[in-house]
Amino acid sequence: MLTHPNVVAILAYDGLCTFEFGIAVEIFGLPRPEFNFPWYEHRIVAVDAYPMQASGGIQVASRFGLESLSEAHTIIIPGWRNRDETPPQALLDALNDAYQRGARLLSICSGVFVLAAAGLLDGKSATTHWRYTDELAERYPGITVDPNVLYVDSGQIITSAGSAAGIDACLHLVSRDYGMHVANIVARRLVMAPQRSGGQTQFIPSPVAQKPRDEIASVLEWALQHLDSDLSVKQLADKALMSERTFLRRFREAMGITPKTWVLQARMNLARDLLESNHLHSEQIMARCGFNSMESFRAAFRKAVGISPSSYRNQFGKIGAE
């Protein structure tokens, strides 16, 4: 049974990620004179002997040790110092005990690897920074890893993506506890939107395609120069001087995906480039990317990237403009 329902324990350790640590302190540890009700009581909990060396040359010390997690209602796990390092067994045991007592656990970025090592994510959905999602899924096949979302709320456990997504996850937790109105006030003080649109896909660099077989490489090079054309399987097969059946088989062998999927990815990559670095109207971008209507272009872009073309341009429109 939790005897201190408002206590938020924020883990600190050697090699601490100071930005993610600061996110948790800012949201849960800052005095809130704007509210006329009790706010969270935050505690910095030392995983290692202190003073602990955080990134940037900062030292962190705390009078609270892992035993104090027994009083925490919520435990925040900043990004872990080394994904290849097994966290201390005392920490894993303390997290398991806290979970069994009903404490809530929230990880930021690579902090999810601590929860995974503790076995607390088996059979659950989770996320982490897009650079680590494949690694997380491979090392812990019992976890359903969602690479796109900013955070996953599994009830008692919340996992978030890259560092800034920790703000989204923490604000989400505030909204669970106090409602959206209070979360909006906290977000306003942070000078950020209370709820960002889209997921991680908008931040992931366009993937580098694997090298195709020589026999179709020239066809794909031609297709990249004609993305505004009707790039049907028949047209691509004719260009390769193959039957459609043979072309499909060899394409899948070379690229690991279907021609239709490859063409759509190429069109979305072009759309992102044009939205980032060009001042073309949306209708012009739509046409250059081979779409016949704005509706179909917007739908395809939102499905592939997670947000609308206009939102993407607003966020990334100045990248590479100079």
SS (H, E, C) 163-207: CCHHHHHHHHHHHHHHCHHHHHHHHHHHCCCCCCCCCHHHHCCCC
Q: What is the pLDDT of residue 88?
A: 96
Token output for 203:
């931040």
Q: What is the pLDDT of residue 319?
A: 44
3-state DSSP percent of the chain in helix, strand and coil, to 5? 45, 10, 40
Phi and psi at residue 171, in whole multiples of 5°?
-65, -35
Q: What is the pLDDT of residue 57?
A: 86
Pair 169, 183: CB distance under 8 Å: no
User: What are the boundaries of each domain within the chain?
Assistant: 7-201, 214-316
Nearest Cα residue to 274 out of 321, 306, 204, 238: 321
Q: What is the pLDDT of residue 163?
A: 85
Pair 251, 259: CB distance under 8 Å: yes
CATH tag, 7-201:
3.40.50.880
What is the helix (H) or strand (E) element at residue 238, kind and residue range?
helix 233-239
Instruction: Tell me how far apart the alpha carbons of residues 54 and 49 are, in angstroms, rounded to a whole number.
Output: 13
**Hey, what's the torsion of the CAs at 38, 190, 8, 64, to 10 degrees?**
-110
Q: Give me the average pLDDT of each 10-residue run along the chain (322 residues).
A: 74 95 95 93 93 89 94 96 94 97 96 98 95 95 91 94 91 89 88 68 57 71 91 92 91 82 89 82 93 94 86 70 38
CATH homologous superfamily for the domain 214-316:
Homeodomain-like (1.10.10.60)
